[in-house]
Amino acid sequence: MAIFSKFVKKKKEPVLGLALGGGGARGYAHLGALKAFAEAGLTFPVVAGTSVGAIVGALYAAGANSDDLIHAGVAIDPKEIKTGPIFLASPAKGIENLVRRFLGDMGFKELKYKFACVAVDLIEAKQIILTEGNIARAVSASCAVPGVFQPVVMNGCHLVDGGVLNTIPTDVARVLGADYVVAVDVNPTRGGGTASTSTVEVLQASLRIVTAQNAAYGRANADVLVSAELGDFSASKKNGFEQMMEIGYNAARKEIDNIKALLAQ
C-alpha cells in the first residue's frame, strides 16, 4: 500500500473561521471565549469582526494570545474612547488610538491571520468589508456607532458601525475562505424598544431594533454559535468585565465538542 500512497490525495484540512459580533462593553465576553478556544487547542486562521468584535478580532489576527487580550482588556479606560460631551457624537479617534496602542501602524497584510472588519457607508447606504490599509483606522470605522461617534471618512466613504447592517459577520468569514464558521454573539438580548420620547433614547432603540434583525441572519448562518447571555450588563460601561469574561468563557466551553466535530468531518 505504501507504494501507492503518494498517489492518494490528502484530505484538505477545513479552514475554521471566527465571527465576532458587536455589543459594546459586552465584548469582554469575546476575551473569555477566546481563552476557552485556546485551552482547547483551537485556532482560527480566518477572522471577521464587527464593532467591538473588530477590536478583539484585529488583535487576535495580529497574533495576540488569550492572555495578551485579557491584559489589554483590563487596561482599557472607557474615558479614552468616548471623548467630549456625552450627548454629542465624538470623533472615533479614541478607538483608533486604542487599537494603535497595541498594533501601531500595522496594516492588514502584516497580520498573522486573515482578517476583515465590517462598516457601513452612509453615502452609498451599503456594507463595506475592510481588508486593506491601516487596521486601527479601519477598526475605528467599524466601531463608529451612529449618534455616539462621528462617521469615519475613508476613501470617499463616510463609515459607521457595521452593526447597522451586519452585526455578526458570519458571511464575511466565509468570503475570506472559511469552510466552517464559529460565531460569538455577546448581545443576544439586543432589540429592546423604549417608551421614552427623548432623541437619544429613540435613536438607540431604533438602532437596537435594526441590529436585532440582521443579527438573526448572522446567528442562523453560523455552523456553531456561542451565545453569551449578558442582558444584566451595560453595553456602555466596563462594570462587571470580569464576570462578562467568565460568561463568555463558559459559553464557549459548551461548544468546544461541536467545533471539534466540524473539524473531524
CA distances from 115 to 45, 50, 89, 221, 251 (A): 9, 11, 28, 18, 23
Judge whether 19 and 219 are in contact, CB under 8 Å.
no
Residue found under cell 457601513: 120
Greatest Cα pair distance, the chain, in angstroms, is: 77
161 labelled catalytic: yes
66, 140, 142, 161: the active-site residue = 161
φ/ψ region of 196 (left if φ > 0, alpha if ψ in -120 to 50, else beta) reads beta
232 labelled catalytic: no
Question: Containing H/E element for 181?
Answer: strand 180-185
Beta strands in 13-89 (DSSP E): 16-20, 46-50
C-alpha–C-alpha distance, residues 126 and 120, integer Å = 6
C-alpha–C-alpha distance, residues 219 and 40, integer Å = 23
CB 97: neighbour CB atoms within 10 A?
Answer: 14
**Which residues participate in catalysis according to the annotation?**
51, 161
